[in-house]
Structure formats: C-alpha cells, structure tokens
Structure 1
C-alpha cells in the first residue's frame, strides 16, 4: 500500500478539499495521513495557499526540504499557489503540479509527472464544488464548502486569479444531506466555508440568510452547532445578526473580512464600505447583544496608509472589543492593483505598526473575554489532555476545563477566569 501525506496551507476551504482528496486517494488504496511534514511517506501532497509571500516561502522551503531528505519521494503541489505560480513551484522541485480544477480529479493525475493547470477553468466548465464526507484529519468539526468564487477584485488579493470570479454555490438539498450525514457520524460542529460566503446563492432566489433560517428550522432540535467562517462587513445587517443571536444552534459569532477602518484605505483597497458604516454596524451588533463575538482580519501597512489612517485602526480597537483578530502586514502580490501602487510602505514602518497594533489587539480581546467572566455558556469538548478538557463555546471562545470530560459532547459551564490559552471554566 502506497503511503501519502497531505499537508494543507491556508483556508478552511483548502482543508475541506484536502479531506476530499484524501478520501479519493483512499479509494485508490493509498494509506493517507495529514500534516506529518512528509515523514515516512512515499508521496507528499501539498495543498497550497497564495494569500501571502510568507505562505509561499514556507511551501517552497518544505518542497526543498523533502527533496533534500529523499530526492526520489514524489512531491505533488496543488491549489492556489500552484495555480498561479507554476514556475516557482517547479523550480523548488515539485514533481506534479495541479491547479484548483485538477486537484478535484486527483485520481486522473496522481501517477503522472508534470504540470496540469487550466488557468481560467471557471469560465470553461460548469464546475461544482466537491464535498468531503468526513471532517478534515479526524477533527471534531466538519468544514462544509458551500460556495466558491468572488467578484470583489480587491486591490491586494490574488485569490481571484486562482478561484475565479464566477460564483458556484451548493444546492440546499446537498447541504442538508451533508449535514445529516456528518451528524449521523456523531460530529456536532459544522463550519460553512467558501471563498466569499456573502455571494452564496448569487443570481438565484436563495441566499445565505435563507439558508440559515432553513437550517435553524430543520436542525434546532438536534445537539449540533453551526458556524460561518468569514463574511464581508457590507453583507451584515440587523436581520442577519438577529438570526444568529436568536438561534440555539448557530454560534453568536461572526468573522469579518474587515481589513481596515479608514475610509481612504478601504476605498483604495476596493472595499465597498466606509468607516462610518463600520461604527454603525458594530453599534447595531452590540446593541442586540453586548456579548456577541466578533473576530476579524486586518491588514497593516497597505500602500498609502498614513499615521492618521493607522490611528483610526487603534481608535476602533479601543472602542470595540473583539474576540480575536488576525492581523497581517501588507504583502505585495503579483498582478494585483496594490502591487503597482506608488505609495508603498517601507518594511520597517510596517513592522513597527504591526508591533504597535498587536498591543491594542491584545487589550481588545482581553477586555472581551474579561467581560464574559461569570457567564454561563455551552462548550463542545474537542480535546482531552491529562486531566484537562478543551473546547469552544457558542461565542467561539476556547475553554480550558479541569477534569476529564467526553469528547464531542456539549457541557454547560461557567467562565471563571482566563489566561493566554483561553478562558478557564468549570462544569455546572
């Protein structure tokens, strides 16, 4: 039996697709492992990401490292980086390079060498999304892809060149079947993922809000939890927040692809909302529920970002408490509008601003978690180590609980304290 290690970089959609690839390879009599860094395997398949230069650097470094240890080990690279930068990956030493279309048909290519990348496959094929039947790498949560493609053309983003501007959505019937299948396996957390979930159901009479409403009606009596992975701020309205907040099975949490707060920078980025809109949005959310959990992505050092623009980020973080923030230094991506902009920010300034921003991020998240102290929540246990159990609650807050509890079971707990690893709580 041939042994393959599947290593995944990037988003939750990539993780779902890696699981799908693994399931196909198992049907071909491969022994599949995940994220072992190529140790003791005959093949290594890297599902790649092209969001940042750092992600690409790590992928090339991994390819070279694997080939140094065993030049005969077959390295297969698939996904967004391979779709957009064939020459770089080939130079690093990959044996087989597949794009985002070809990786879905891994069974046709796994025994070949060379490059197979149809650049604009979304324009030539009515390509559907492929859905795995199990959680990625035996996780306790299941990543369910429901949408692919984006039409925003943000100035900094390269993903549209790898995933396309044609929106593909999964039918409601298939989504429900996937949920029922995963629930029958005893999995109790489902995370909806895509390239831009705001476009789910584009050009149809069905959209994400209707899907949430229907799922809530269908599954509200079940011991299950649903989370939405990422949304654009301009998609969010009062009806949407109330849907999540009033549901017993959807997390009271949203992750926003926020990126910045300054209207000037947002406009330059190609975003369709303003600083004023964001203040009104956050006020609306926290009026509905002061405990509502908001996490976000932020970019610091975007071309043209002035000290005043940066201060607007700090002011916003001082006013609103976030459950978590993923902050990135702007990374110039080939063929994007931002890469051609004149007012590039020097690396040392980006580094200093990031260091400063991280202080305010820590303060914002600490204030949010401190605010929850004494609150009763429901935690789904996903890991037990020693005499402690770990899991997330409905606000997407990570808990550490003294005692050995059962994996994949919900427990009512009270938040007592917090440290750098999350909140500390006790079972009620």
Structure 2
C-alpha cells in the first residue's frame, strides 16, 4: 500500500466541472491513486480548467505555481475547457506536463506513465467535432450536495461564448443512466442533488452518434422526482426559452424539487440580446418570472447578466438596470464582458471602455445586494427547511433553505448534513438570516 501515489485536484469554473473532476478522481482511485487535498504534497496535481472569463485563464497560472511550491517534482496535468481551446498555451506554462482536451480528460490514467516531469507539456486534444459522445459524471464526497451531470455541450451560437468550441455539440445522458447515478448518490447519505450541464433545458434533444433520445427535460425531472432516498433536487442554470410552463408547474407540486431557479438573462435590452444571438427577447423572460411567482410566490430566482458587451450604450445599460430593478427577482450573478478569441463579438464595433464596464458591474452588484435583502426580508417569519453545510465559519454553521435563503446558527458538528424545520427570525449583519429550530428533524 505504501507505493500508492497521491493525487490532488483543483477545479476552476462551474458546477459541471466539479462533477467531472469528481468522476476523474474516482477513476484514478480505481487505478491505485489516493486522493488528497490540493493544499497537501502530492505526486500529481490535476487542474480542471475553465474558459468562460479572462480571469479563469490567469487563475490557472496561479494554481500551477501553487502546486509547484508544494512539490516542484510533481506531475501537473491540465484538463477541461481551456485545455481544449488553447492547449499549446497551457503546455507552455512552466511546470505543466500534460494537457488533455474535451474527449481525452476522462482517460487521464491512459496518458500517465511514471509521473516523471516532462521538458515540455505534452498535448492531447481533439478536433472539437470529435466530442460527440457522452460521459456521465457526478460529484460526491466533496460537498454537502452532489452535482449530477445530465447534459454536455451546446448547439447555441451566442456571439460571446466559447463553450461550444470547448465542449462540442449538445448531447445528453440516457434517462436510465441519470437515474442510476442519482440512486448511487442517494446511497451515500447525500441530501441534495443539483442537476448540471452546459444547457440542461436542451436535455434529450436530437441525435448524436447513433443514439436518438426519447425523453424531454420535463420527463427527466418527473423521473428524478421518484428516486427514493433523495430529499432535495435543485435545477441549476436553465435558459428562459427552455424553461417551460409545464416544468415550472411540476416543480411547484413536486416532492423533491425545490423552488429555486437560476435563469440567465444576459441583457435587459432586446437590441443587445439580438447582438448576442440569444434565443429569446426580454418579454419571454418576464413571462417566465411571472409564471414562477404565480405558482411559487416564495421561490428564489437568480439571474445572470453580462455588462459591457460591444455596442452596449448607456441607454442599453439603463434599460437592463431598470428592467431588473422592476422585476421580482432575488439576486444577480454579474459578469463583466471579456473578449474571447474565435467568437463573433471580438470583431464587433462599439467596444465599451474597461472603466465603464467596471462602473456598470458595480451598479448591478449593488442592485443584487438590494434584491437579495428584499427577498430575505420577505421570508422573515416563515417556516422553512434548512440543510446544514460542513464548515465551521467563525463559530457558526451555515445552511440553505429550500428556496436558497442562507441561514446561520452557532456551530454544532451534529447538525452537519442534516435537514431541520426552522423559522426565519432576523437578518444578521453579514447578510445571512438567523433562525429558530422548530424541534423537528426532517
């Protein structure tokens, strides 16, 4: 047993990446590796990369330097989206030994020999058209909740986005396999599963390879709702044009799906939505939010917004600001537009200066704080169910209600990964909500 090598993982980016890192880690454990924390000395460090923002590119180099400080003789492998888009760039980063693209990352063990350092980073990345098969993934053991991948790739051609170039065409897991993975997760005493993918509302669409899917996203949700042993299911980000009224209505009556939706908007200006080649106009977004509020008044609704897109004038930005200010939403994820190679937006006119982008971002972040506060205030005095997390933060344990209100109570290790009925009492100085137990463990 002393000969077992140690491997550590670092994940940049989205929930989908976390689910895939966890699957790659389990594969390596089956090959005789022991997984350790990234802060520990390891024989190999694996970095799952992201390509969504410029910041993720910079973070990669910082993570490599961190690994080299821990063990300058360690083997460093880069996998994932950035590794697919710019393999040579990653291979040239000092300390990187292996770069694996979209189709190769799940076969990491096949590319490892004796873990000795290479003089140059070795690259194995496919033409993205070859990424036409599906590998199921889910994360367990990393967090209180599990991320379950149900779909990969994207057929949309948004003018700012590199994900179709990094992950290929839209393809989905078979329903039977999703249910099998969900059942496996349920046996690990995990209380909550978050469904993830690149464009999960596209689940079951079309053909890839020789397989034609027979199931829709609604049918996936209905089938998962019946898996025994799972307390909560949460839908991660879903496009407004793909979030159908039938799905919203089903979630409102569901046994396990929680009243929380994260719906990308990107801009509140129809002019900018058209430049972005989004597949809806703001009127569709309004309809979705109104439908959710009609059947689930207490639901949490999160929004993605991009500021500083080429051609976004002050008028366009104010259109977005006022649209969001008037909408009954709960919080914002604000992204500052950053130029990405090989996208249509790079060649567009009307570049927004960096300082203007930063100012607009700050305004929307301020609006997000206001929206979250108003949402939390509307929840005070109500009874909810909380799932407690595993960290002790300055003497407190935190958790999230089904509708994504962050609560806190004095640290008690016995509460970790348990569900409790609570009453929301007051908003604390740090923005989380204090609570009282209703003496009912769920």
Give the structure-2-normalised TM-score: 0.90
Structure 1 SS opposite 2:176: helix
User: Which range moves more in the overlay, 316-325 or 187-196?
Assistant: 316-325
Q: Between Structure 1 and Structure 2, how many residues are aligned?
A: 419
Correspondent of 1:181 among 174, 179, 184: 184
1: CA distance between counterparts of 2:62 and 2:295? 47
Q: Are positions 1:169 and 2:172 aligned together? A: yes
- Answer whether contact 1:129 1:146 (CA < 8 A) is retained: no
Counterpart of 1:406 in structure 2 is 415
User: Does the Cα contact within 8 Å between 1:317 and 1:361 map onto a contact in 2?
Assistant: no
Residues 294, 324 of structure 1: 8 Å contact kept: yes
Matches within 5 A, 1:60-75: 60-67=61-68, 70-75=71-76
Counterpart for residue 299 of structure 2: 292
Query: Which of residues 23, 27, 40 is equivalent to 1:24?
Result: 27
Partners of 1:196 and 1:399 lie apart in 2 by: 30
- Give the distance between the partners of 1:129 and 1:213, measured in 2 at CA: 22
Identify unmatched segments of 5+ residues in structure 1. none
**Distance in 2 separating the partners of 1:196 and 1:187:** 24
- Residue 210 of structure 1 and its aligned partner are, at CA, apart by 1.1
- In the aligned structure 1, how far is the partner of 2:87 from the partner of 2:436? 51
In the alignment, the residues of structure 2 paired with residue 35 and residue 346 of structure 1 have an alpha-carbon distance, to the nearest angstrom, of 37
Distance, in Å, in 2 between the alignment partners of 1:66 and 1:178 is 32
CA shift at 1:9, angstroms? 0.4
Deviation by residue 1:119-158 (Cα, 9 ceiling, x = unmatched) = 22xx4465222324x5152x11111111011111100001
Worse overlay, 416-425 or 98-107: 416-425
Is 1:265 aligned to residue 278 of structure 2?
Answer: no
CA contact (8 A) 2:201 2:242 kept: yes
Query: Is the aligned partner of 1:129 residue 2:135?
Result: yes
Tell me the equivalent position of 1:396.
404
Deviation of 1:416 (Å)? 0.9
After TM superposition, give the deviation of residue 108 of structure 1 in Å: 0.3
Q: Paired residue for 2:316, among 301, 309, 315?
A: 309
Residue 332, structure 1, aligned to residue 332, structure 2 = no
- C-alpha contact (below 8 Å) 1:191/1:228 kept by paired residues: yes
Is 2:278 aligned against 1:274?
no
Is the counterpart of residue 43 in structure 1 residue 44 in structure 2?
A: yes
Q: Which residue of 2 aligns with 1:427?
A: 437
* Rounded Cα–Cα distance in structure 1 between residues aligned with 2:256 and 2:57: 37
Question: What is the aligned partner in structure 2 of residue 209 from structure 1?
Answer: 218
Q: Give the corresponding residue for 2:424.
A: 415
Query: Contact 1:416/1:424 (CA < 8 Å) preserved in 2?
Result: yes
- The Cα of 1:3 is off from its aligned counterpart by 1.4
Counterpart of 2:5 (choices 2, 13, 22) is 2
Asked if structure 2 preserves the Cα contact closer than 8 Å seen for 1:99 and 1:119, the reply is no
Query: RMSD of the alignment, in Å?
Result: 1.9
- Name the SS of the counterpart of 2:286 in structure 1: helix
SS in structure 1 at match of 2:306: strand
Q: Distance in 2 between matches of 1:366 and 1:35?
A: 35
Aligned 8 A contact 2:140 2:146 in 1: yes
- Counterpart contact for 2:385–2:419, Cα < 8 Å: yes
Counterpart of 2:356? 349
After superposition, residues 234-245 of structure 1 pair within 5 angstroms as 234-245=241-252
Native 8 Å contact 1:18 1:136 kept in 2:
no
Partner of 2:209 in structure 1?
none
TM-score normalised per structure 1 = 0.93
* Distance in 2 (alpha carbons) for counterparts of 1:89 and 1:282: 41
- Indicate conservation of the 8 Å contact 1:253/1:395, yes or no: yes
Partners of 1:371 and 1:244 lie apart in 2 by 21
User: What's the offset of the Cα at 1:30?
Assistant: 1.4
Contact 1:148 1:195 in 2 (8 A): yes
SS of alignment partner, residue 267 of structure 1 = helix
Shift of 1:68: 6.1
Residue 125 to residue 194, structure 1, CA distance change in 2 (3 Å)? closer
Distance change in 2, residues 1:296/1:10 (3 Å) = same
